[in-house]
Chain A
Amino acid sequence: MTAFGAALPRRAGALVRRAAARPQGFAARSALALLLVLLVAPFLPVVVWSVTRAWFYPAIVPQTLDLSAWTSVFSATSGVPAALGRSVLIALSATGLAMLFGVPAGRALALHRFPGRRLVEVLVLAPLVVPPLAVAMGLHAVFLKIGLAGTVPGVVLAHIIPTLPYVILVSASVFSAFDTGLEDQARSLGATPSQVLRHVTVPLLAPGLAVAALFAFLVSWSQYGLTLLVGSGRVPTMPLILMQFVTAGRQDVAGAIAVLTVLPGVLALVLSARILAAAAARERTTS
């Protein structure tokens, strides 16, 4: 692992290797369960808020069960279902683009020595260091001039800024642990290039890249200020609508929206955990 790869992605890399090295799926499954509990537990009061009304001190438990927050959230006039779809579209597009640029960059940084590599590493980290809102203001001005402000493609492009560093860092870590010699071995045993890709390269890299994509998805999903500014308010994603109800003190509606906001993140987490578990299983059968 290079010095660069040792920075942030150590945890992600370790996660991948540990999952892959597990002799049994039980420990991996328990770790996943614990992670889910940690994620979900602070969330329970929010769920309760969303299905109750007129819950005042000193009542310890809600006095009434009421689904009106959910009815209002799912009504055609609330804009929430549309925002949910929009958020998914934006996060998936931003993830796709970030992977498109970030994975090759990560590979280059991990496997190749070239002049100016240090500088590139610093530049890659820059979006994590510079306050994103400062970047967003400048970007908003530029996007206004070229007509990208207030559009979904504009927001997607803006989301590449905070997501790209995560993808590059994680994939650099993945590639630094990747032994290209395995590809050579497969070839020397007579594998065709497509067989090498299918049976060697992808299985070895997929778990790590899934983690990279998960990071990108979650980072894009939770953007607030960047979406607000670059979207000119006209690209209402879930965090934007959630904020409107949180500042208005509407725990019931905010609770319902918060539940919907967290679901795709949990889904993405479960999916990547699946990929990791599958990789671990494959590791067991091949070793």
Chain B
Amino acid sequence: MPIPRRIVLGLLAGALALPVAARAAPLSEDALRTAPFETIVEAARGGTVNFFLWGGDDRINAYVSGPLAEALKAEYGITLNRVGVADTAEVVNQILSEQEAGVTDGGAVDLVWINGENFRTLKTGGLLLCGYAERLPNARFVDWSDPSIANDFGTPVDGCEVPWSKARFALAYDSARTAEPPKTMAAFLDWVRANPGRFTYAAPPDFNGSAFVRHVFMHAAGGAEALSGPFDQARFDAAAEKAYGLLDDLEPFLWREGRTYPTDIAQLNQLFANSEVDFTFNYEPTVFGAGVADGRFPETTRSFAFDDGTLANTSYVAVPFNAANKAAALVLANHLLSPAEQLRKADPAVWGMATALDLDRLTPAEAEAFRALPRHPAVIADEDLADRAMAELSADWLEAIEKGWIERVGR
């Protein structure tokens, strides 16, 4: 089958030339940190922002691609391109590969929804734009001195990311099956032993399963204070002995006698929905409401937090060092912090994610609007969570606890 060589070469050249498109000269990094915000808005106008975020919830997708994108277009003329990912670690790998390939400008990611280990990896690698966060006009609504804002899983934020939402750990039960759930960790562990096979947890390093194990760890260590601050091997060893012992002893009472664990939270959710176990949990209790709404959980699902304390974290948005559209990313980050957009996101009919703003810094009318938001009956009241909130452990503690669990319990 003879094909003229010049056709083959022409096609190849065409394919290679396509992606090479001209880009307007962007603002310098210094300008992004020092220029008046109006300058940044002007530079961003008419551009595009590639927003990378977990794509596994059609409600979140619909919110970001719908009202959020429309507002950004209407107010700033910026096109929001939502890029869904199955795991935020993929985005971290993308940025790391770009750095290794020497792509210092024109990177794929403009803004990423991030926290915890992923943030630490990027920050310690010097792969984030820093120093702009507190200068955003809407940053005045944020209490930057709040330790749960200033630290992301123990890593100081240092103006390298912008808070977006708050989340606190809660457990879900089916009120049709369990009338009154045990509300302290000690009572809960007793319940598990009294009801063999009716509980299990997602195996670390699953994000949520790992958070449950940290609650057990804090309980075994005698409180969150025992594990606060920087990682300390001696303190870890003392707590680990008790905590892993406790989890080991619990195994025979778990689902399938603890011979196997769900590998991710989706599996645990399914076990719960199908009445194979009586509890599931999540770091973001709004998913229980969303789960009832989209038919993943029974209508009678309710949630609660442990009286002895529940872990709290904040999730953020961050701009990579090599983002192609930094100005547009900053405009989006600022827009996400506006009271109106935060209110829309906090509405359970839209998403229901708790605001990262400090209500005391809003006008009384704005603050009242947040307080008046309806709550899905499956979702624990925010006040009940706020009362019990405990700061997250630093990422070193978190990693040591996960590693220890995998070695000693998960084997």
Residues A151 and B18 in contact, CB atoms below 8 Å apart? yes
- Chain A, 42-100, CB within 8 A of any chain B CB: 52-58, 64, 66, 68, 72, 75-79, 97, 100
Kindly state whether residue A248 has any CB partner on chain B within 8 Å.
Answer: yes
Q: Which of B269-277, B337-345, B367-375 contacts A (4 or more CB under 8 A)?
A: B269-277
Can you list 18 A-B pairs, Cβ within 8 angstroms, ordered by A? A56-B275, A57-B276, A58-B275, A77-B61, A77-B69, A78-B58, A79-B61, A104-B1, A137-B97, A144-B103, A145-B101, A153-B19, A157-B15, A233-B108, A236-B84, A248-B57, A250-B58, A250-B296
Q: Which of B39-47, B86-94, B145-153, B399-407 contacts A (4 or more CB under 8 A)?
A: B86-94
| Choice from B8, B62, B83 contacting A100 with Cβ under 8 Å | B8
Give 1 or 0 for each of B50-70: 1 = CB within 8 Å of chain A CB: 101011111001101110010
Distance A149 CA – B90 CA, assembled complex (angstroms): 15
Residues A146 and B16 in contact, CB atoms below 8 Å apart? yes
The 7 closest A-B pairs by CB, nearest first: A248-B56, A249-B266, A53-B295, A77-B65, A57-B274, A144-B101, A54-B295
Give 1 or 0 for each of A228-271: 1 = CB within 8 Å of chain B CB: 11001110100011011101111011000000000000000000
- Contact partners of B65 in chain A: CB under 8 A: 76-79
CB distance from A34 to the nearest CB of B (A): 33
- Contact partners of B69 in chain A: CB under 8 A: 77
Looking at chain B's contact residues, the main secondary structure is mixed
Residues B269 and A241 in contact, CB atoms below 8 Å apart? no
Whether A253 touches B90, Cβ cut-off 8 Å, given contacts A233-B52, A247-B264, A248-B266, is no
Residues B108 and A97 in contact, CB atoms below 8 Å apart? no
| Choice from A57, A145, A232 contacting B275 with Cβ under 8 Å | A57
Residues B276 and A79 in contact, CB atoms below 8 Å apart? no
- Contact partners of A145 in chain B: CB under 8 A: 101-103
| Choice from A58, A153, A241 contacting B15 with Cβ under 8 Å | A153
- Contact partners of B100 in chain A: CB under 8 A: 141
- Contact partners of A97 in chain B: CB under 8 A: 11
| Choice from A72, A104, A247 contacting B266 with Cβ under 8 Å | A247
Residues B103 and A151 in contact, CB atoms below 8 Å apart? no
Residues B84 and A144 in contact, CB atoms below 8 Å apart? no
- Contact partners of B82 in chain A: CB under 8 A: 79
Residues A149 and B61 in contact, CB atoms below 8 Å apart? no
Size of interface on A: residues with Cβ below 8 Å to B: 55
Give 1 or 0 for each of A133-163: 1 = CB within 8 Å of chain B CB: 0000100111011111111011011000000
Residues B294 and A252 in contact, CB atoms below 8 Å apart? yes
Kindly state whether residue B187 has any CB partner on chain A within 8 Å.
Answer: no
Distance A77 CA – B55 CA, assembled complex (angstroms): 12
Distance A247 CA – B266 CA, assembled complex (angstroms): 7
Residues B91 and A233 in contact, CB atoms below 8 Å apart? yes
Q: Compute the total of residue contacts between A and B using a CB distance below 8 Å.
A: 135
Give 1 or 0 for each of B257-280: 1 = CB within 8 Å of chain A CB: 000000011110110011110000
Chain A residue at minimal CB-CB distance from B106: A147
Residues B58 and A154 in contact, CB atoms below 8 Å apart? no
- Contact partners of A72 in chain B: CB under 8 A: 58, 62
Chain B residue at minimal CB-CB distance from A144: B101
Kindly state whether residue B98 has any CB partner on chain A within 8 Å.
Answer: yes
Residues B84 and A241 in contact, CB atoms below 8 Å apart? yes
Kindly state whether residue B85 has any CB partner on chain A within 8 Å.
Answer: yes
Distance A157 CA – B55 CA, assembled complex (angstroms): 26
Distance A104 CA – B4 CA, assembled complex (angstroms): 12
CB distance from A215 to the nearest CB of B (A): 17
| Choice from A103, A232, A236 contacting B1 with Cβ under 8 Å | A103
CB distance from A174 to the nearest CB of B (A): 11
Kindly state whether residue A107 has any CB partner on chain B within 8 Å.
Answer: yes
- Contact partners of A157 in chain B: CB under 8 A: 15
Kindly state whether residue B3 has any CB partner on chain A within 8 Å.
Answer: yes
Residues A244 and B90 in contact, CB atoms below 8 Å apart? no
Residues B66 and A77 in contact, CB atoms below 8 Å apart? yes
Residues A104 and B3 in contact, CB atoms below 8 Å apart? yes
Kindly state whether residue B20 has any CB partner on chain A within 8 Å.
Answer: yes
Residues A249 and B270 in contact, CB atoms below 8 Å apart? yes
New A-B pairs, 9, CB < 8 Å, besides A79-B61, A236-B84: A56-B274, A57-B274, A77-B61, A78-B61, A141-B100, A233-B85, A233-B94, A240-B84, A247-B56
Distance A243 CA – B61 CA, assembled complex (angstroms): 15
Residues A241 and B97 in contact, CB atoms below 8 Å apart? no
Residues B94 and A232 in contact, CB atoms below 8 Å apart? yes
Residues B16 and A153 in contact, CB atoms below 8 Å apart? yes
Residues A147 and B19 in contact, CB atoms below 8 Å apart? yes
Chain A residue at minimal CB-CB distance from B108: A232
Distance A154 CA – B18 CA, assembled complex (angstroms): 9
Whether A141 touches B97, Cβ cut-off 8 Å, given contacts A104-B3, A153-B16, is yes
Distance A56 CA – B174 CA, assembled complex (angstroms): 13
Give 1 or 0 for each of A9-29: 1 = CB within 8 Å of chain B CB: 000000000000000000000
Residues A154 and B19 in contact, CB atoms below 8 Å apart? yes
Distance A136 CA – B50 CA, assembled complex (angstroms): 23
- Chain B, 95-111, CB within 8 A of any chain A CB: 97-98, 100-103, 106, 108
Residues B50 and A234 in contact, CB atoms below 8 Å apart? yes
Kindly state whether residue B298 has any CB partner on chain A within 8 Å.
Answer: yes
CB distance from A237 to the nearest CB of B (A): 12
Whether A100 touches B3, Cβ cut-off 8 Å, given contacts A144-B101, A233-B94, A249-B270, is yes
CB distance from B104 to the nearest CB of A (A): 11
- Contact partners of B61 in chain A: CB under 8 A: 77-79
- Contact partners of B66 in chain A: CB under 8 A: 77
| Choice from A53, A78, A104, A244 contacting B294 with Cβ under 8 Å | A53
Residues A56 and B273 in contact, CB atoms below 8 Å apart? yes
CB distance from B292 to the nearest CB of A (A): 8
| Choice from B16, B58, B87, B267 contacting A253 with Cβ under 8 Å | B58
Most buried by B among A56, A66, A101: A56
Residues B56 and A148 in contact, CB atoms below 8 Å apart? no
Residues A244 and B83 in contact, CB atoms below 8 Å apart? no
Chain B residue at minimal CB-CB distance from A108: B1
CB distance from B295 to the nearest CB of A (A): 3
Chain B residue at minimal CB-CB distance from A150: B108
Whether A153 touches B18, Cβ cut-off 8 Å, given contacts A104-B1, A241-B55, is yes
Distance A31 CA – B274 CA, assembled complex (angstroms): 39
